[in-house]
Structure 1
Amino acid sequence: MARPQPATVVLAGGHESHGGRDLAALVAADPAVHAAAPAGRPLTEAVRSALADGEGPVCVVPMTLGRDPRLVADAARALRWLAAGEGRGRLALTAPFAAAEHLVGWLRAAAGPAPDGALLVTAPAAGPFEDAELFRIARLVRQYGRHRWVEVAFEGGDPDPVEGAERCRLLGAREVTAVPASFGPAPHPAPSGARDGGPLLRPAALAGVVAARTAAALHLLGHGEDGIAAGLDAEHGHGYAHTHAHTHAHGHIHGPGEAHHHGHPHPHQAHQHHPHAPAPTPH
């Protein structure tokens, strides 16, 4: 059996990476990574360039830490027509870089031991649902971590890092450590009195997760599954709740001749929403 050709990788960036700008170091360090671009026309053009540069497969990795399902869906929409044309059989959308449970673990590991200190989780401000998700993640970090206080702050949002650090001190924290829940650094300079906890993940850890997502996508591509259809559904259930008429707990009402099944998802669809690569050690 012939060995699969190595893939060229394109990173799709969203609010967690400032549209891909925070991924520049990863692009420069990893020869397999062709470019990082925000979803939409820039991503389409980056993928088109990668397809033209060689004859091997091209894998697009949605660079989300679990708070940007829209990025996955937007990336899928950007790839749909390329996959039906010049990228037919060569183009794959991988599972997202991470899910929320990975982010919880990475934040716990990056924070280090500080039972009398506070962890200030920072991220670029996004939409209300994405920002609310970070508060949920912070609660889980506190529940299963070693810090008495875990607070959230947003660059360009409310509360901002200065307000977040002040809240930690008012709560009684002797030390405040700022750690980013994003691909960029913690706010610099760090809020007054706060310690810079460094990046969430080291470059080698970032590259390792990208490689794992790419390898899994190549395996599925070899079986004819490019991941795009599953990616288009990534936003389902995100945002305001929407209503459906239900005949029972797991059934929707459909018109004549329409069928809808709520059994087990396609294996790749499950993989898209629940990536299961080993979590790298951040430091």
Structure 2
Amino acid sequence: MTAFGRSIGQAHSTSRAQSDGQARGNHRAGSNDRGRSGTATLVLVGGHEGGDASALRPLVEGGHALRAVGVGRELTLAVSEALAWTDLPVCVVPMTLGRDPQLVADTARALRWAAGPGPQGRIALTEPFGSATHLVGWLRAAAGRVADARPEDSAVLVTAPAAGPFEDAELFRIARLVRQHGSHRWVEVAFDGGDPGLAEGVRRCRDLGARRVVMLPAAFGPAAARPVAARPVAGAEDGGHLLSTSAVAGVLRARVAQALHRLSQGQDGIAAGLDAAHGHGHAHSHGPHDSHDTHGAHGTQPSVGHSDHHSHEHRLHAHH
């Protein structure tokens, strides 16, 4: 049992069939070794920063949570299982590092369906694992960890699985803030499976004059997460995971404790989570005669109480 397992919950073996191969420990926040005084069961939800939960599954295998799943039906099934296995609250954590607000909103929609109508029950949506501000701080700390005696001619290459244009653009902003008060001369960005790719990012760092290039992930997996890219990238060092297991454990403890406090006051976090992606996307302006009714094409309700001349943001939605 890890330190996280002792402080957050005890994994219990189960004889149920495991079609997806995950270790389904009935993991309870704050429980003792026998699981008799537990306070919550933990479910992690992954998006593009967690490889759609694949990068989170080691946390389950290590006894850190009941399940790690993607959003949608997989999530609702996991929550239903958790509710059936225990009478404890089920805390669901959107595992974003701040660049996937859509994951929070999608998780809230799935939980609203799972919770059904009526008053709040045993399901709680926690705050996201991290924010963009957290990510800047975590990357700065990781860059300091891998710095050598000559950071002035070294580069950090911040990597992440490719997502959408707005999420990817946000990583460039974050990298700029990491560089602002860091010791490395360059902080560049590359995407695993995107543009610029990892090899291209390394070449750019070398072209800029970097003697040393260290890759750091802005994601839960390693710097080169996909199997095809898991081999060492020529000319670069792997800086390791962004956060240690103990650091992840500490953040999860804080998220669960806050969610349980709010749940005790009748706030399950789901309604607030539905608005998480509001304003995420590109900005555009309406002319004086444009109708807000055209917003229906974005999948949103017409706005009320806005002036005719304004700017706001909409997220591009994929239609299935």
TM-score (norm 1): 0.83
Per the alignment, in what secondary structure is the counterpart of residue 241 of structure 1? strand
* Partner of residue 202, structure 2: 165
1:29 to 1:99, Cα distance in 2 relative to 1, 3 A: same
Deviation at 1:236, TM superposition (A): 0.5
Q: How many matched pairs?
A: 247
Q: Please give the residue correspondences for 1:40-55 in structure 2 after superposition, counting only pairs within 5 Å.
A: 40-55=72-87
Q: Is the 8 A contact 1:162 1:192 kept in 2?
A: yes
- Hey, what's the Cα distance between the residues in 2 that align with 1:110 and 1:231? 29
Residues 1-45 of structure 1: CA deviation (Å, up to 9, x unaligned): xx98511000010000111010111112235x1101111111111
Q: State the structure with bigger RCO (CA 8 A, min sep 6), 1 or 2.
A: 1
Q: Please give the residue correspondences for 1:88-237 in structure 2 after superposition, counting only pairs within 5 Å.
A: 88-112=120-144, 113=147, 114-187=151-224, 188-237=230-279
Deviation at 1:67, TM superposition (A): 0.1
Deviation at 1:190, TM superposition (A): 3.0
Per the alignment, in what secondary structure is the counterpart of residue 126 of structure 1? coil
Deviation at 1:241, TM superposition (A): 2.2
Per the alignment, in what secondary structure is the counterpart of residue 44 of structure 1? helix
Q: Partner amino acid for 1:14?
A: G
Deviation at 1:189, TM superposition (A): 2.4
**Of the candidates 283, 296, 300, which is equivalent to residue 241 of structure 1?**
283
Q: Is the 8 A contact 1:12 1:39 kept in 2?
A: yes
Unaligned runs of 5+ in 2: 1-30, 32-36, 225-229, 289-302, 307-320
Larger radius of gyration: 2
- Hey, what's the Cα distance between the residues in 1 that align with 2:106 and 2:283? 20
Q: Is the 8 A contact 1:118 1:150 kept in 2?
A: yes
* Partner of residue 52, structure 2: 19
Say whether residues 1:65 and 2:107 are aligned partners: no
Residues 197-247 of structure 1: CA deviation (Å, up to 9, x unaligned): 00001111112111110110000000000000000000110012255799x
* Partner of residue 254, structure 1: 305
Q: Is the 8 A contact 1:51 1:87 kept in 2?
A: no
Deviation at 1:115, TM superposition (A): 2.7
Per the alignment, in what secondary structure is the counterpart of residue 152 of structure 2? coil
Task: Return 189-198 or 16-25, whichever deviates more.
Answer: 189-198
Q: Is the 8 A contact 1:58 1:90 kept in 2?
A: yes
Unaligned runs of 5+ in 1: 247-251, 256-283
- Hey, what's the Cα distance between the residues in 2 that align with 1:202 and 1:213? 17
* Partner of residue 8, structure 1: 41
1:170 to 1:6, Cα distance in 2 relative to 1, 3 A: same
Structure 1 residue ranges, 4+ long, deviating more than 6 angstroms after superposition: none
Between the two proteins, what is the percent identity of the paired residues?
A: 62
- Hey, what's the Cα distance between the residues in 1 that align with 2:266 and 2:82? 20
- Hey, what's the Cα distance between the residues in 1 that align with 2:283 and 2:270? 24
Q: Is the 8 A contact 1:245 1:253 kept in 2?
A: no
Per the alignment, in what secondary structure is the counterpart of residue 268 of structure 2? coil
Q: Is the 8 A contact 1:30 1:207 kept in 2?
A: no
Q: Is the 8 A contact 1:17 1:183 kept in 2?
A: yes
Task: Return 112-121 or 213-222, whichever deviates more.
Answer: 112-121
Q: Partner amino acid for 1:198?
A: G
Q: Partner amino acid for 2:51?
A: H
Say whether residues 1:79 and 2:111 are aligned partners: yes
Taking only aligned residues, the RMSD between alpha carbons, in angstroms, comes to: 2.1
- Hey, what's the Cα distance between the residues in 1 that align with 2:81 and 2:237? 42
Q: Is the 8 A contact 1:82 1:88 kept in 2?
A: no
- Hey, what's the Cα distance between the residues in 1 that align with 2:286 and 2:84? 44
